[in-house]
Amino acid sequence: MIFRTLFFIFVLVPFLVVVIPLQALILLLRLPFWPVLPRLFHRLGCVFLGLRVQVIGAASTGRPTLLVSNHISWTDIVAIGSVADVTFVAKREVGEWPFVGMMANLQRTIYADRGRRSATGRTARAMGRHMASGNAVLLFAEGQSDIGTHVLPFRSALIGAAQHAMIDAGARDVVIQPVTVAYTRLQGLPVSRNERSLIAWIKSKSVGQNIAEILSGPVKDVTVAFGTPMPLSESDNRKAVSKAAEIQVRAMLVALNRGGKLPVQAPLPGND
């Protein structure tokens, strides 16, 4: 805890003092290298939070990409953001949180209002415009966080809406890529089922309690595994596409939790 306190005071705070106005300027000028500083911020965040990130595979690049992932904790964002240049889709309330909302805005986060079905189209259009520019958007497709032992059914509504919004925005060469986040070890030892509650953000815990447990807890090994990108066309059935991605994510999570190795994923042609 002493290390994290010193790191926060002497590294993270000075970094934020410089980077926050600089990133705001980069976004204002619409400069293409806007993801560079957020990725560096997430890497420092991993050190501060005690996250050791292992990457399997790679995020699809150079084409409009919708990444769909399981969701365990708010630290998933830090882990994924440290290894991939993505824009996250978050619930609307995140944008209203002090400091967190500001940092989310600086990473061009897209907000979804889960309480209003009419807002789905607006969120999808924002996702489509962002991806049509060749960027990647990550959606936590379960719609909520879970304990990390299994994957909840993926919600296909936003995936389907984004699918059509991408086409409408001019994105033709579109892929959907499954992503799995797995917390495998605490202080070098395999995570037990009971210990997963020290990581996961579950409904029975307040935000403050979860943050306190993360900050005071041991070093956490987390694996971010990128699955096989799948071409996504306007005519594809959104439920079938969502199910195929869900199956990939579930298989990867089971293998990682059991300490197994994932098969080597073959990239799409032209995905460097």
Q: What is the CA radius of gyration of the chain?
A: 18
The end-to-end CA distance of the chain, in Å, is 40
Residue 83: closest CA among 100, 106, 61, 103: 61
Cα of 148 vs its chain's centroid, Å: 15
pTM recorded for the entire structure: 0.91
**225 pairs with which residues across the strands?**
56, 180
Nearest to 176 by CA among 238, 235, 245: 245
**Residue whose pair of structure tokens reads 């296909």 in the numeric block:** 156
Return the sign of the alpha-carbon dihedral for residues 177, 77, 224, 115. negative
Report the alpha-carbon distance of residue 205 to residue 225 in Å, rounded: 27
Spell out the residues 6+ positions from residue 241 whose beta carbon is closer than 8 angstroms to its own.
156, 159, 160, 163, 176, 230, 232
Distance, in Å, from the CA atom of 42 to the CA atom of 81, rounded to the nearest integer, reads 6
Instruction: Tell me the pLDDT of the chain (272 aa) as tens digits.
Output: 789 999 999 999 999 999 999 999 999 999 999 999 999 999 999 999 999 999 999 998 888 899 999 999 999 999 999 999 999 999 889 999 999 999 999 999 999 887 676 677 888 888 888 888 888 999 999 988 889 999 999 988 878 777 777 777 777 678 899 999 999 999 999 998 888 888 987 766 777 888 888 988 899 999 999 999 998 887 888 899 999 999 999 999 999 999 877 754 544 334 44
Phi, psi of 238 (to 5 degrees): -65, -35
**Collapsing DSSP states into helix, strand and coil, what is residue 22?**
helix
